[in-house]
């Protein structure tokens, strides 16, 4: 069986929407929520919700002081009763069968960690509409940018793929997290690389990391997530992203570049990343947001689609 672990802070409003999809996962008989010194009604809300699912054990850990998402994950693992643990973010739905599929892949590949694909919901979009839009990805590019050490979330590929790391919604083993815990250094700012650090630690030590197209997580639209590291101003996101990537590269770049046959010197790779993240935050993302606003004005039907937050259930299977 599987323990699902959710670090959270002041996200009661988001968990009300997405947490039922955790309880409806096959093979999940325990969920550990780690409230990182939040000030909202998260704990009370989760206690009420858990009573609707008596077949799943719910544990709520309340931190007296804020420790950050990485250490919250470690604390959740310490409470887990099962060897297999699935980490989930507090602003993402899980497609039905996500946990079971990732466990099957983990065992089949003898992998260190496995995830499904992540889909970022657009405002007013249902999960079925998002699955149809996303398919197996829409960007015809490599799924992993080696020099930047970045996954390309929307890259088009089929089947299962081995990468140096995948997204944050991963299933792994409790024994591995005990041996190679999440690094609490990423506690400030936007925590960039905090979930990738654990996976890269496994990758450089020889554990395969996989992502499968068979199941998906659905990230809430920006308009429905009003707190968190990604809600910072762009300049702050650039600063923390470069700061943490410098630290990340110091830890892993030598072993990582050797494994992926990358000859780019570390200072050059870090400079390239700084240019990339500056472009992403100051040019690409604002431009994409502006184009979405234009499309919504041109097509008023877009705003009339059923809200993703109110979609009653996830699609049970995907091609």
Phi, psi of 226 (to 5 degrees): -105, 5
pLDDT (0 to 100) of residue 307? 41
* Over residues 94-111, mean pLDDT: 98
State the chain's mean pLDDT as an integer: 91
Nearest to 89 by CA among 54, 115, 112, 128: 115
The model's pTM is 0.90
Interval 128-182: pLDDT, tens? 999 999 999 999 999 999 999 999 999 999 999 999 999 999 999 999 999 999 9
Answer whether residue 288 shows pLDDT above 70.
Answer: yes
Nearest to 119 by CA among 316, 313, 308: 308
CA distance 241 to 222: 19
Angle formed at CA 266 by CA 161 and CA 183, multiple of 5 degrees: 65
Answer whether residue 261 shows pLDDT above 60.
Answer: yes
CATH class of 2-310: alpha beta
Give the strand pairing for 28-35 and 57-62.
parallel
Interval 137-150: pLDDT, tens? 999 999 999 999 99
């Amino acid at each position: 069986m599987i323990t699902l672990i959710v670090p959270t802070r002041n996200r009661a409003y988001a968990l009300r929407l997405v947490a039922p999809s955790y309880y409806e996962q096959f093979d999940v008989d325990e969920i550990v929520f780690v409230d990182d010194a939040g000030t909202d009604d998260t704990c009370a809300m989760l206690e009420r919700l858990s009573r609707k699912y008596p077949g799943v054990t719910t544990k709520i850990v309340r931190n007296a002081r804020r420790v950050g998402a990485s250490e919250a994950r470690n604390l959740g693992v310490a409470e887990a009763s099962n060897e297999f643990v699935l980490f989930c973010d507090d602003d993402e739905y899980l497609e039905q069968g996500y946990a079971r599929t990732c466990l099957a892949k983990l065992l089949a590949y003898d992998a260190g960690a496995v995830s499904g694909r992540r889909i970022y919901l657009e405002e007013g979009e249902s999960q079925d509409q998002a699955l149809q839009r996303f398919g197996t990805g829409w960007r015809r590019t490599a799924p992993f940018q080696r020099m930047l050490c970045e996954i390309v979330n929307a890259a088009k590929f089929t089947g299962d793929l081995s990468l140096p790391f995948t997204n944050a919604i991963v299933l792994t083993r409790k024994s591995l997290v005990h041996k190679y815990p999440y690094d609490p250094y990423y506690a400030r700012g936007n925590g960039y690389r905090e979930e990738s650090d654990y996976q890269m630690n496994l990758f450089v030590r020889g554990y395969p990391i996989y992502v499968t197209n068979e199941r998906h997580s659905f990230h809430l639209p920006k308009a429905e997530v009003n707190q968190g590291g990604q809600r910072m101003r762009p300049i702050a996101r650039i600063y923390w992203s470069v700061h943490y990537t410098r630290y990340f590269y110091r830890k892993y770049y030598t072993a990582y570049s050797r494994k992926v046959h990358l000859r780019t010197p570390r200072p050059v790779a870090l400079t390239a990343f700084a240019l990339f993240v500056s472009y992403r935050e100051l040019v690409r993302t604002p431009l994409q947001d502006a184009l979405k606003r234009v499309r919504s004005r041109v097509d008023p039907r877009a705003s009339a689609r059923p809200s993703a937050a109110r979609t009653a259930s996830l699609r049970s299977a995907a091609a």
